[in-house]
């Protein structure tokens, strides 16, 4: 399979032999049925093994194996992509679906073979995987899952913190009432995640990245915008002035990343628009 498909609880559908595309490519369901029984103690008959993955766009009606999973509805309800974005990680619900290699190894006398690990444990080894996500995404996780296309409302829900959502709304209102720009959702790659873009023709003027309890705005300042900024720079806070001054200048201008949190004077954002 190609790209990683991460579930709400941190499993990997792309590695799972029950995933529909893997069955279509190379049907190993008998092997999987035996492996699940050996390592997890449950038996599912081969003809009942078929899963469309729990992050498919119609995830509420998709054909899933684990229909009683308590994690998926909880993550969806909170507006997250997966449990790594939750303040309650690891909760009791997630513990019900938690898979740790060391716990499984403890139960077996002999060492787990490499191909057994690969087929039956690695796809579901979610605790390590989610901890890695937390480490690499830091405090302000973004909407990084390309397969879960957000709406503006789901972006607001993802941010979560009501005070920050109010600032998000003020920003959107300010942009849309002052400028005639086109708006679109874009996935900016695995390092940037989903963003709301405002464009003039092909040129992106502002991109807004929703984050947990924050959002980050990317202002693209060309020569003209930098000249205008010189005229109003006394009006912004020292924090924002330092940010603009310290941002590297390229031949076509500066890319200014401004994160809006509780601590950033929001008026600066409106001045920069
Ligand atoms: S069983 Fe779980 S990991 Fe496997 S395809 Fe279904 S949702 Fe994905
Ligand atoms: S409460 Fe538990 S199951 Fe729900 S999103 Fe948080 S960590 Fe996941």
- pLDDT tens track for 13-27: 999 999 999 999 999
Is 11 within 8 Å of 49 (Cβ atoms)? no
- Is CATH 3.40.50.150 correct for 152-272? no
Question: Is residue 71 in contact with ligand 2, taking CB distance under 6 Å?
Answer: yes
Mutational pocket test of ligand 1: of 15, 16, 24, the residue with most ligand atoms within 8 Å of the beta carbon: 16
Residue nearest atom 8 of ligand 2, based on CA coordinates:
83
Give, as one character, the DSSP assignment of residue 154: H
Task: Please give the pLDDT value at position 60.
Answer: 63
Higher pLDDT, 59 or 232: 232
Q: What band does 3 get if pLDDT is binned at 50, 70 and 90?
A: confident
Q: Which residues make Cβ contacts (< 8 Å) with residue 86, sequence separation at least 6?
A: 75, 78, 80
Residue bearing tokens 């995933």: 19
9 pLDDT above the threshold of 80: yes
Residue nearest atom 7 of ligand 2, based on CA coordinates:
89
Q: Which residues line ligand 1 (CB under 6 A)?
A: 7, 11, 13, 16, 18-19, 51, 53-54, 64-66, 123
Return the ligand number nearest the Cα of 14.
1
From ligand 2's centre to the CA of 71, what distance in Å? 6
Task: Please give the pLDDT value at position 98.
Answer: 97
Q: Two tokens at 197? A: 């873009």
Mind listing the pLDDT tens digit for each residue in 27-69?
Answer: 999 999 999 999 999 999 999 999 999 887 665 678 889 989 9
- Which atom of ligand 2 lies at the shortest distance from residue 9's CA? 8
Mind listing the pLDDT tens digit for each residue in 176-219?
Answer: 999 999 999 999 998 999 999 999 998 888 999 999 999 999 99
Mark out the alpha helices in 41-190 (DSSP H runs): 71-78, 92-96, 101-107, 114-116, 126-137, 152-159, 162-178
Complex ipTM value: 0.97
Domain ranges in the chain? 13-137, 152-272
């Amino acid at each position: 399979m190609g790209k990683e498909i991460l579930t709400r609880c941190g499993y990997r559908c792309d590695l799972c032999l029950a995933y529909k595309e893997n069955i279509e490519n190379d049907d190993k369901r008998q092997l999987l049925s035996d492996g699940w029984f050996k390592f997890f103690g449950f038996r599912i008959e081969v003809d009942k093994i078929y899963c469309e993955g729990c992050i498919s766009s119609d995830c509420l009606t998709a054909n899933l194996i684990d229909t009683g999973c308590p994690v998926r509805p909880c993550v969806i309800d909170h507006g997250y992509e997966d449990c790594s974005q939750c303040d309650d990680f690891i909760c009791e619900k997630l513990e019900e679906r938690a898979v740790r290699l060391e716990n499984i190894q403890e139960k077996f006398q002999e060492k787990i073979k490499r191909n057994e690990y690969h087929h039956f444990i690695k796809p579901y080894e979610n605790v390590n995987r989610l901890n890695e996500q937390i480490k690499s995404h830091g405090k302000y996780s973004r909407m990084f899952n390309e397969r879960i296309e957000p709406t503006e409302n789901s972006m607001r829900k993802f941010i979560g913190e009501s005070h920050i959502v109010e600032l998000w709304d003020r920003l959107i209102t300010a942009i849309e009432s002052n400028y005639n720009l086109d708006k679109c959702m874009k996935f900016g790659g695995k390092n940037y995640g989903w963003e709301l873009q405002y464009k003039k023709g092909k040129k992106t003027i502002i991109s807004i990245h929703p984050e947990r309890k924050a959002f980050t705005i990317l202002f693209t300042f060309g020569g003209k915008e930098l000249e205008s900024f010189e005229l109003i720079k006394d009006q912004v806070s020292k924090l924002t002035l330092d940010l603009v001054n310290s941002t590297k200048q390229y031949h076509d201008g500066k890319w200014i990343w401004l994160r809006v949190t509780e601590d950033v004077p929001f008026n600066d954002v409106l001045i920069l628009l």
